[in-house]
C-alpha cells in the first residue's frame, strides 16, 4: 500500500463536501448569516460555473484571522466537540471555504468596523493567501468563486446541458426563499447574468416574509398555528393550509413549497414530511390529491443538546434525539387543525398485500373532531369578513391561541377515547357485531344507534316535488340556474341566481385557439375560423389534450361546488304560497302577489310619469372679472415683488399629472419626467462606476490610444503619489468616475514608460479602450475639465437606464410637498431653457390661457372644447 498525496486527499474530501453549485451557495450564505449580515447579494454567471459571488454587510473577518480563514478545520464557531451541545450557528466544521478552494479559484474581500479600507485576498487551492490588495467595497465580506469544478471534468460535464443548469438555478432560488422565510429581517437578491431573478426586501414578521416569497394568493389560504409541549420542551409554530381549502391552491406536485425548519435550519425530514402529507391528504378523498405536497411552513424549536446536525456534509439532514416526542407534538398540532384521520394512509395500503378495514370511530371521537373543525372554520370566518377586508392583526394571534388550546384539549380527550377503545377491543365478538351491540357509547354504555335521515312531513305540500326524488338527474337545484332552459320565466330569474355552465375540453381549446387563428388569418370568415380550430383539435397531441381535460375537470368541480353552496342557501324569500307544480299548471304565470312588481319591471311604457324634482334653492352672487383683476392689481402693488415661477393647482385623479399655473397659462406637469432629468444630471456629475480587477491587465500604447498626443494627454492627468514599487495610479476623477483604473510605471524616456489598465467597470456592457479614447478626445480637443463633459456614450446610455429604473421605483401618487420640492429643484438645477426629459419629452403641456377680460371669459366658455385633457 502507498499513502495518497496530500493534494489528492484534499481533492477527494472536498468533492464530497462541495457536490453542486447549490452546496457552494448554501455554505457561503450560512457564513454570511453567522456573521450577522442583514443584506446578502448573490450574483451568478453561467449558472455559477464561471462566477459565483456572495456579498454581505456582516461583521467581516479580522485581519489577524485572514491567514487561516480558508485553511481546513480553522473556525471561529466552536472550540471543541462539547460546543455542539449548545450550537447556535449554521457552520461549525471549518471545511467549507477550504473545500471550495480545492475545486475553484477563490478571492475574499473583507472589511471590519475597525478597518479603514477593505482588502481583497487571492487564495490558492490549499486556502493560503497568495496576494492581497486594497479594495473599494464597504463593510462586510465578498466571496468570489471562479471556474467552479475546473479540476473535476466529469462533474463539470454534468452541467453541460441547459436543463441541469436551470434545475440548479431553481434550487438556488428555493434555497434563498427558505432563508427569506425564516429570516424576515434579511434582504436577499439573486442575479444571474446581470439580470435580477428574484429579490426580497426586509420585512417585519414571518407572515410578511411569506407574502414576499409565495405571494398573497398562497398566503390567503394559510393559517398561523403554534403548539408548546413541556416534557420534553418543544415549540412548534408555522403556517398551515386552511381545513377544507381547495387543494389546487394549497398544494403542489413537488415539495419545494413545504418548508421545514429545525432550530431555524432548513432540513429534509422524511418522517415529518410523511406525517404532514398524511393529515393533509386525509381531507381530500379524490385521487389527484394523493400525490401532492402541502404548501406550509413548520418551525420546530428544540434544545440544541437534543439535535445532531453533523450527519451529512450539506447539513440538510438532522438527527432528533427525542424524535418520537417531536412526531407526537406535530401530530397533536395537525389533529387540532384537521381532526382525526378516519382511515389508514393510502400509500401504506398499497404497499401491504391485504386491505385493512378500520373500525368505526366512537361518538366521542367524532364529536371532538367535528368540534375542532367547526371552531377552526368559525375562527377563519372571523378573520375575513364578508366584504373581503382583512380583520385586525390580533385575529391571527387569537386564532393561534385557540388552536394551541384545542391541541391540549384534544390530547386529553384522545387519551380517554383510546382507553375506552382498548377496553372494548378484546370484547368485540361476531355475535355482538351482528346484533348491533358491539360498539357502545363510552359515557352512557348504550349501543350506538344508526344515523337517522329526517324527511319533511307529509302535510307540507309546498315544494314537495323537489324532495321526492333527490337522486333524480332532472332535479333542479335551489337558488341556481345551471343551464339555459327552454321555459325560463321572470319568476325564475328573480328568485334564482344565474350560473355559467362549465366548459368542455374542446370549448376551452377553442377559447384559447380562436384568438391565435385570428392573428394568423385576420380576413378569415367565422366558418373558416371554426373549421381551423376544429382541425387543430383533431390533430392535437395526446398529452396536450389531457391538459385541457384536466382544466375542464377543475371547471366542473368548481361549478358543482358553487351549485351545492347555492342549493344549500335555499331559495330567496318571496311571498309565494303555491307550489312549483301549481305554477307549471298555470302556464308559467307569476303569482298574483308579485304581478304588480313584474308589470313595473318588464312593461314597455311606464304607467305613471315621475314627478320632476323640486328645484334646489339657489342665490346669485355678484362676481365681476374686472373687479377681481383690479383687486389683484392692488394686492400686487402693495407687495414688494410680483409672484413669479410655477404654482401648483391640483392633481389629476385619473393620471399621475399635476395642473400648474405659469403666469396666465394653465400647464400640465409630469413630475416623473422632471425626476428623470434631475437624477440623470446628478448621475452624470457624481456617479462613480465601480471598477473590477482584470485578470490580465491591458497594456496601453500609442497605437491602441490613437497616437502619441493621446498618450501625453493621459500622462498629464492627475495621479497619486508613487507606491513603494514605483508604480503610479491615476486618480483623475474623469478616469475613475468612468470605471477605469490605470497604472503608470515611469521610465527614463517615453519609450520606457509602461501604461496598463488594471481594473475596469463591468456594469457597462462592452466597455473598452475605445471608450477610454473617447475620454481622451474630450480632454484633448474639447478641453473638457469636468466628469460630466467626459462621459463616453456607453456610460451615458447606462446612466440614462439607471435613472429611468430608479424613477420607476417611486410611488405613483406623489404628495403635494414632493411635487413642490421637485419644481424647486427643477428651477435651481435645470434652469429655464432645459425643460425636457432624457427622452426629449417636455415636462409641461399647454392646456389653455386664462382669460383677462369678461369678453375673453365668455368666448372661452362658449367655444367648443377640443382639448384631449378636458
Each residue's pLDDT tens digit, 659-694: 888 877 888 888 888 888 999 989 999 999 999 999
d(CA 492, CA 597): 14
Q: What is the CATH number of the domain that holds 859?
A: 3.30.1540
What is the average pLDDT score of the chain?
Answer: 76
Residue with cell 327552454: 486
Q: Is residue 611 part of a domain?
A: no
d(CA 93, CA 311): 12
Question: Of the candidates 338, 368, 398, which is a domain's last residue?
Answer: 338
According to DSSP, the β-strands at 51-56 and 105-111 are: unpaired
Q: What is the structure's pLDDT at 856?
A: 67
719: phi then psi, degrees, rounded to nearest 5: -135, 160
Q: What is the structure's pLDDT at 583?
A: 44
Q: Reply yes or no on whether the pLDDT at 296 is more than 90.
A: yes
Residues 62 and 112 sit within 8 Å (Cβ to Cβ): yes
Cell numbers at 720, concatenated: 497619486
d(CA 856, CA 778): 54
Q: Is residue 136 part of a domain?
A: yes
pTM for this predicted structure: 0.43
Is 662 exposed, middle or buried (CB count within 10 Å of its CB: 0-12, 13-18, 19+)?
Answer: middle
- Same domain? For 55 and 163 the reply is yes
d(CA 698, CA 755): 9
Cell numbers at 3, concatenated: 499513502
Residues in the chain: 870
Quick one: pLDDT band at residue 83, thresholds 50, 70, 90? low
Alpha-carbon distances, residue 774 vs 224, 288, 380, 780, 791 (angstroms): 60, 65, 66, 10, 8
Q: Is residue 468 part of a domain?
A: no
Q: In the predicted model, what is the mean pLDDT of residues 125-139?
A: 89
Is 335 exposed, middle or buried (CB count within 10 Å of its CB: 0-12, 13-18, 19+)?
Answer: buried
According to DSSP, the β-strands at 296-301 and 258-262 are: parallel
Q: Reply yes or no on whether the pLDDT at 284 is more than 60.
A: yes
Q: Reply yes or no on whether the pLDDT at 386 is more than 80.
A: no
Q: Is residue 791 part of a domain?
A: yes
Give the alpha-carbon dihedral of 11, 13, 14, 17, to 10 degrees.
160
Q: What is the structure's pLDDT at 337?
A: 87
Q: In the predicted model, what is the mean pLDDT of residues 220-235?
A: 88
- Same domain? For 709 and 770 the reply is yes
Q: Is residue 164 part of a domain?
A: yes
Q: What is the structure's pLDDT at 366?
A: 37
Q: Reply yes or no on whether the pLDDT at 599 is more than 90.
A: no
Q: Reply yes or no on whether the pLDDT at 611 is more than 60.
A: no
Q: What is the structure's pLDDT at 734?
A: 92
- Same domain? For 118 and 46 the reply is yes
d(CA 717, CA 850): 56
Q: Please write down the long-range contacts of 806-809, taking CB distance under 8 Å and 24 or more positions apart.
A: 806/679, 807/672, 807/675, 807/676, 807/679
Residues 171 and 22 sit within 8 Å (Cβ to Cβ): yes
| Lowest-pLDDT range of 372-381, 426-435, 726-735, 833-842 | 372-381
- Same domain? For 171 and 233 the reply is no
408: phi then psi, degrees, rounded to nearest 5: -70, -40
Domain count across the chain: 4
Q: Is residue 610 part of a domain?
A: no
Residue with cell 474639447: 782
- Same domain? For 665 and 761 the reply is no
- Same domain? For 175 and 64 the reply is yes
Q: What is the structure's pLDDT at 500?
A: 73
Residues 41 and 189 sit within 8 Å (Cβ to Cβ): yes
Question: Of the candidates 279, 313, 338, which is a domain's last residue?
Answer: 338
- Same domain? For 226 and 268 the reply is yes
Q: In the predicted model, what is the mean pLDDT of residues 525-536?
A: 85
Question: Of the candidates 741, 760, 795, which is a domain's last residue?
Answer: 795
- Same domain? For 666 and 691 the reply is no
- Same domain? For 128 and 155 the reply is yes
Quick one: pLDDT band at residue 86, thresholds 50, 70, 90? low
- Same domain? For 787 and 821 the reply is no
Q: Is residue 359 part of a domain?
A: no
Q: In the predicted model, what is the mean pLDDT of residues 106-130?
A: 90
Q: In the predicted model, what is the mean pLDDT of residues 217-229?
A: 89
d(CA 867, CA 816): 25
Q: What is the structure's pLDDT at 380?
A: 43
pLDDT digits (tens, 9 = 90+) for 531-565: 888 888 888 888 888 888 888 888 888 888 888 87
Q: What is the structure's pLDDT at 358?
A: 37
- Same domain? For 183 and 83 the reply is yes
Q: What is the CATH number of the domain that holds 35?
A: 3.30.565.10
Q: What is the CATH number of the domain that holds 774?
A: 3.30.1370
How far is C-alpha 142 from the geometric centre of its chain's CA atoms?
Answer: 26
| Lowest-pLDDT range of 29-43, 210-224, 424-438 | 424-438
Alpha-carbon distances, residue 523 vs 239, 284, 512, 517, 518 (angstroms): 54, 49, 19, 10, 8
Q: Is residue 844 part of a domain?
A: yes
Q: Reply yes or no on whether the pLDDT at 496 is more than 80.
A: no
- Same domain? For 329 and 265 the reply is yes
Residue 777 belongs to domain spanning: 687-795
Amino acid at each position: 500500500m502507498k499513502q495518497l498525496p496530500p493534494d489528492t486527499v484534499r481533492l477527494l474530501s472536498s468533492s464530497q463536501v462541495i457536490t453542486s453549485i447549490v452546496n457552494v451557495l448554501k455554505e457561503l450564505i450560512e457564513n454570511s448569516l453567522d456573521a450577522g449580515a442583514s443584506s446578502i447579494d448573490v450574483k451568478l454567471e453561467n449558472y455559477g460555473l464561471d462566477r459565483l459571488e456572495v456579498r454581505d454587510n456582516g461583521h467581516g473577518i479580522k485581519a489577524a484571522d485572514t491567514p487561516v480563514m480558508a485553511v481546513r478545520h480553522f473556525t471561529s464557531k466552536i472550540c471543541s466537540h462539547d460546543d455542539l451541545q449548545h450550537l447556535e450557528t449554521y457552520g461549525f466544521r471549518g471545511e467549507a471555504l477550504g473545500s471550495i478552494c480545492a475545486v475553484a479559484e477563490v478571492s475574499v474581500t473583507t472589511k471590519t468596523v475597525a478597518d479603514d479600507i477593505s482588502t481583497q485576498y487571492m487564495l490558492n487551492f490549499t486556502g493560503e493567501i497568495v496576494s492581497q490588495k486594497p479594495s473599494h467595497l464597504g463593510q462586510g465580506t465578498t466571496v468570489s468563486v471562479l471556474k467552479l469544478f475546473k479540476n473535476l471534468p466529469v462533474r463539470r460535464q454534468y452541467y453541460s446541458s441547459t436543463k441541469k443548469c436551470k434545475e440548479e438555478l431553481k434550487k438556488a432560488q428555493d434555497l434563498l426563499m427558505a432563508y427569506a422565510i425564516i429570516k424576515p429581517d434579511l434582504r436577499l437578491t439573486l442575479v444571474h447574468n446581470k439580470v435580477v431573478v428574484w429579490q426580497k426586501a426586509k420585512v417585519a414578521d414571518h407572515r410578511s416574509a411569506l407574502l414576499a416569497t409565495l405571494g398573497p394568493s398562497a398566503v390567503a389560504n394559510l393559517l398561523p398555528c403554534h403548539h408548546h409541549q413541556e416534557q420534553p420542551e418543544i415549540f412548534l409554530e408555522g403556517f398551515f393550509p386552511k381545513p377544507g381549502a381547495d387543494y389546487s391552491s394549497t398544494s403542489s406536485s413537488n415539495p419545494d413549497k413545504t418548508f421545514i425548519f429545525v432550530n431555524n435550519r432548513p432540513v429534509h425530514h422524511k418522517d415529518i414530511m410523511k406525517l404532514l402529507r398524511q393529515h393533509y391528504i386525509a381531507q381530500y378523498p379524490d385521487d389527484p390529491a394523493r400525490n401532492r405536497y402541502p404548501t406550509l411552513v413548520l418551525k420546530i424549536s428544540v434544545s440544541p443538546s437534543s439535535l445532531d446536525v453533523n450527519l451529512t456534509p450539506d447539513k440538510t439532514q438532522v438527527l432528533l434525539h427525542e424524535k418520537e416526542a417531536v412526531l407526537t407534538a406535530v401530530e397533536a398540532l395537525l389533529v387540532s387543525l384537521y381532526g382525526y384521520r378516519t382511515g389508514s394512509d393510502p400509500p401504506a395500503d398499497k404497499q401491504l398485500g391485504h386491505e385493512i378495514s378500520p373500525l368505526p370511530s366512537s361518538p366521542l371521537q367524532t364529536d371532538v373532531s367535528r368540534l375542532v373543525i367547526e371552531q377552526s372554520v368559525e375562527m377563519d370566518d372571523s378573520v375575513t369578513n364578508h366584504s373581503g377586508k382583512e380583520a385586525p392583526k390580533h385575529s391571527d394571534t387569537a386564532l393561534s391561541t385557540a388552536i394551541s388550546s384545542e391541541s391540549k384539549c384534544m390530547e386529553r380527550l384522545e387519551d380517554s377515547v383510546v382507553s375506552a377503545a382498548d377496553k372494548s377491543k378484546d370484547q368485540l365478538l361476531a355475535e355482538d357485531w351482528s346484533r348491533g351491540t358491539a360498539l357502545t357509547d363510552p359515557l352512557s354504555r348504550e349501543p350506538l344507534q344508526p344515523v337517522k335521515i329526517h324527511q319533511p312531513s307529509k302535510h307540507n305540500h309546498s315544494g314537495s316535488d323537489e324532495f321526492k326524488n333527490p337522486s333524480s338527474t332532472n332535479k333542479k337545484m335551489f337558488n341556481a340556474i345551471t343551464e339555459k332552459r327552454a321555459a325560463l320565466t321572470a319568476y325564475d330569474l328573480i328568485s334564482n341566481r344565474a350560473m355559467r355552465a362549465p366548459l368542455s375540453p374542446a370549448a376551452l381549446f377553442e377559447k384559447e385557439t380562436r384568438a391565435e387563428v385570428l392573428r394568423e388569418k385576420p380576413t378569415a370568415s367565422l366558418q373558416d375560423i371554426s373549421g381551423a380550430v376544429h382541425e387543430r383539435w383533431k390533430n392535437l397531441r395526446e398529452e396536450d389534450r389531457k391538459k385541457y381535460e384536466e382544466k375542464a375537470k377543475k371547471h366542473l368541480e368548481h361549478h358543482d361546488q358553487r351549485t351545492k353552496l347555492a342549493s344549500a342557501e335555499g331559495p330567496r324569500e318571496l311571498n309565494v304560497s303555491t307550489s312549483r307544480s301549481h305554477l307549471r299548471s298555470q302556464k308559467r304565470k307569476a303569482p298574483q302577489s308579485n304581478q304588480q312588481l313584474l308589470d313595473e319591471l318588464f312593461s314597455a311604457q311606464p304607467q305613471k310619469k315621475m314627478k320632476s324634482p323640486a328645484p334646489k334653492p339657489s342665490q346669485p352672487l355678484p362676481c365681476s372679472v374686472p373687479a377681481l383683476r383690479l383687486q389683484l392689481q392692488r394686492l400686487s402693488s402693495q407687495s414688494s415683488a410680483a409672484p413669479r415661477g410655477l404654482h401648483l393647482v391640483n392633481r389629476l385623479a385619473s393620471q399621475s399629472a399635476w395642473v400648474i399655473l405659469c403666469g396666465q397659462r394653465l400647464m400640465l406637469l409630469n413630475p416623473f419626467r422632471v425626476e428623470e432629468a434631475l437624477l440623470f444630471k446628478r448621475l452624470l456629475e457624481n456617479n462613480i462606476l465601480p471598477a473590477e480587477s482584470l485578470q490580465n491587465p491591458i497594456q496601453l500604447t500609442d497605437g491602441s490610444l490613437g497616437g502619441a498626443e493621446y498618450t501625453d494627454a493621459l500622462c498629464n492627468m492627475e495621479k497619486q503619489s508613487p507606491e513603494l514599487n514605483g508604480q503610479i495610479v491615476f486618480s483623475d476623477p474623469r478616469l475613475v468616475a468612468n470605471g477605469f483604473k490605470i497604472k503608470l510605471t515611469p521610465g527614463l524616456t517615453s519609450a520606457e514608460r509602461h501604461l496598463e489598465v488594471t481594473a475596469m467597470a463591468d456594469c457597462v456592457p462592452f466597455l473598452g479602450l475605445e471608450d477610454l479614447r473617447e475620454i481622451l478626445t474630450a480632454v484633448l480637443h474639447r478641453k473638457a475639465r469636468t466628469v460630466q463633459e467626459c462621459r463616453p456614450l456607453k456610460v451615458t446610455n447606462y446612466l440614462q437606464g439607471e435613472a429611468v429604473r430608479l424613477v420607476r421605483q417611486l410611488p405613483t401618487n406623489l404628495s403635494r410637498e414632493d411635487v413642490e420640492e421637485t419644481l424647486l429643484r427643477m428651477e435651481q438645477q435645470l434652469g429655464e431653457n432645459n425643460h425636457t426629459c432624457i427622452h426629449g419629452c417636455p415636462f409641461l403641456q399647454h392646456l389653455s390661457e386664462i382669460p383677462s377680460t369678461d369678453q375673453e371669459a365668455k368666448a372661452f366658455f362658449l367655444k367648443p372644447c377640443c382639448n384631449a385633457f378636458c
